[in-house]
Structure 1
C-alpha cells in the first residue's frame, strides 16, 4: 500500500484527489486555522461553499500555505438563491474573489431546488463559466435521478460529479448507479453518518477496525475509497484530521467491504433534495 492519496479521472479528463477536507459548519473565524491544520496534515483537496460563509478563511489559509496552486484542488458551490444566469455569474465572481483564486478546480450547483425550477438555467451559466477556464470542472450536489436525467436531456455538458449525502446507512444506490452509468463521479458528504447512526458500534465495523489496527472511522473512510467515492471527512481537531487521513496504508477485504455495504437502511440524515429550495 502507498501513502499517496489516490486520484480519480473525471469525465472531462481532469483528476481529483479521492480524499478531501470539507469545511461545512466551520466557523468563519476558525476557518483559516482549521484549513491550515488540514493542509499541514497532508490534505490538498478542500471543499467549501458560498453558503458556509468561510470562503475567505479558506482562501487566506491557501495563500499563507505556500503550497503551489497546481497541487491544490478547490471546490465551491452556487447557493439556491443565486441560481439563474447573471446571478450565477455574479455569485461565482464573489466566490472567486473571497477565495483569492484565479480559478476553482470544481464549481457545483449546491442543491437542485426544484421548486424554483432554475437549475437548468443555472447549469447553462456554469457551462459558460467552465468555457471561460475559471472553473476547470463543473458538477452538481444533492441531485436525484430525475434532476440528473433532466439535466442530461436539456444541456450539453455532463456533470463531472454529484456530491450527495452518502454513508453506510444511506448509500443512495439509485443515484450512484445512474451517475456511474453516465460517467459522473460520486462525492460523499456526511461520510460517517454525522453521528445520527451508530455506525462505529456496528459489529462488522468494529471487527474490521480490530483486524486492521484502525479506528471505526478509519474503516468507514477506507470503505468509501474502495467503493470509488470521493470522500470529505470533517474535523476541527488536528489529531482527528490526521487520523482521518491515515487510511492509505491498509485495505479492507472484499468480505469486509460487503459487510459494511450491507448496513444500508435508507438512513438519510439531511433534508430531502426536493424539499430544499
Structure 2
C-alpha cells in the first residue's frame, strides 16, 4: 500500500507507477493545461489522459510548462474504439505521441474491449512495447472473460486493468482475478462522479476522521491496493484529494464501505457498450 502521494506500485514488468494520480476525463484543453500544472506543482506525478478526451495536446503543454522533468512524470493514454485494429492502433499511438509532444509513453491502454478487434489492437501494442515506444501496456474496462481471452494467446501480459471502481461497484471477482494474475486494478470515477457523498456510512466516517467524504473514499481505494486517478479541475480539490496519507481506515471501516456495493455503474457495461 502506498504511504505518500509520490509512492509507486511495481507493475508486472518491473516498471514503477505512482499509486495515485490525476484523471482528465473530457476536460477542455485549456482547463486541462491549468489542472495538470496545478497537480504537478502539488506533487502529483501521474497523469491519465486518452485520445477520446481530446486534451492530449493540453496535457503535453502543461508537462512542458510545469518545469517538472519528463522522467519524473508517468503519462498514460488510451486507444479509442474507432482507432482499434493493428495498423489503426499504430497510427493512433503516433497521433497521441505527437499531440503530447513526447518521445515515449509510460502506459498505453486499450480503452474498451471492441469485439473482434481488441486482440489485433493488443498485437500492435505489443509491437510498440517491444520497440520501447511505451514502457508498459494494459487495458481498460475489461471483464475477467476479456482478460482471459486476451491472455490466451498474447506475448505480453497486461500490467493494468483500469475500470469503474467505487463503493457502489466494488468488482470483487475482477479484483481477485487481477490480484491472482499480477495485474494492477486502477479506478476511474472512484468518487462515482460525486454521487457517494451523501451515503450515511461515508458521512459518518468523514466526521469520525475529520476528513471529507471524498477523502474517505479515496483512502478506501488506497487501502484496497487500487491505483486511483480522481478527476478534478479545481485547485483546492486537487490538493484535497491527495491529502489522504495522514490517517487510516480501520478494518471495520473498510468492511462497512465495501458493503455499500450495489453493482451500480455510472458508465457503460463492457459487455454491452456502444462500440
CA distance in 2 between counterparts of 1:120 and 1:113 reads: 9
CA distance in 2 between counterparts of 1:242 and 1:4 reads: 11
Question: Where does the alignment leave 5 or more consecutive residues of structure 2 unmatched?
Answer: none
CA distance in 2 between counterparts of 1:56 and 1:4 reads: 25
Whether 2:235 is the aligned partner of 1:234: answer no
- Offset at 1:75? 0.1
- Counterpart of 2:174 in structure 1 is 175
Q: Is the 8 A contact 1:5 1:248 kept in 2?
A: no
- Counterpart of 1:60 in structure 2 is 61
Q: Is the 8 A contact 2:168 2:262 kept in 1?
A: yes
CA distance in 2 between counterparts of 1:173 and 1:214 reads: 26
Bigger drift between 201-210 and 263-272 goes to 201-210
- Offset at 1:4? 4.3
- Counterpart of 1:161 in structure 2 is 160
CA distance in 2 between counterparts of 1:138 and 1:104 reads: 10
- Counterpart of 1:273 in structure 2 is 270
2:152 is paired with a residue whose SS is: helix
- Counterpart of 1:185 in structure 2 is 184
What's the CA shift string for 1:61-103, capped at 9, x where partnerless?
Answer: 0011111112100000001111111111111011011111111
TM-score (norm 2): 0.96
What's the CA shift string for 1:140-172, capped at 9, x where partnerless?
Answer: 000011111000102111100000000000011
Residue-pair matches, total: 273
- Counterpart of 2:249 in structure 1 is 252
2:203 to 185, 203, 206: 206
- Counterpart of 2:122 in structure 1 is 123
Runs of 4+ in 1 over 6 A off after TM superposition: none
1:150 is paired with a residue whose SS is: helix
Q: Is the 8 A contact 2:78 2:111 kept in 1?
A: yes
Q: Is the 8 A contact 2:6 2:43 kept in 1?
A: no
- TM alignment of 1:5-154, pairs within 5 A: 5-114=6-115, 117-154=116-153
- Counterpart of 1:221 in structure 2 is 218
Q: Is the 8 A contact 1:111 1:276 kept in 2?
A: no
CA distance in 2 between counterparts of 1:268 and 1:31 reads: 25
What's the CA shift string for 1:125-151, capped at 9, x where partnerless?
Answer: 100000111110000000011111000
- Counterpart of 2:193 in structure 1 is 194
CA distance in 2 between counterparts of 1:51 and 1:237 reads: 22
RMSD: 1.3
What's the CA shift string for 1:156-192, capped at 9, x where partnerless?
Answer: 1110000000000001122211111111100000001
Bigger drift between 206-215 and 3-12 goes to 3-12
1:186 is paired with a residue whose SS is: strand
CA distance in 2 between counterparts of 1:180 and 1:239 reads: 33
What's the CA shift string for 1:11-52, capped at 9, x where partnerless?
Answer: 000111111100002012322112111112221100000011
- Offset at 1:218? 0.3
CA distance in 1 between counterparts of 2:236 and 2:50 reads: 24
- Offset at 1:204? 2.0
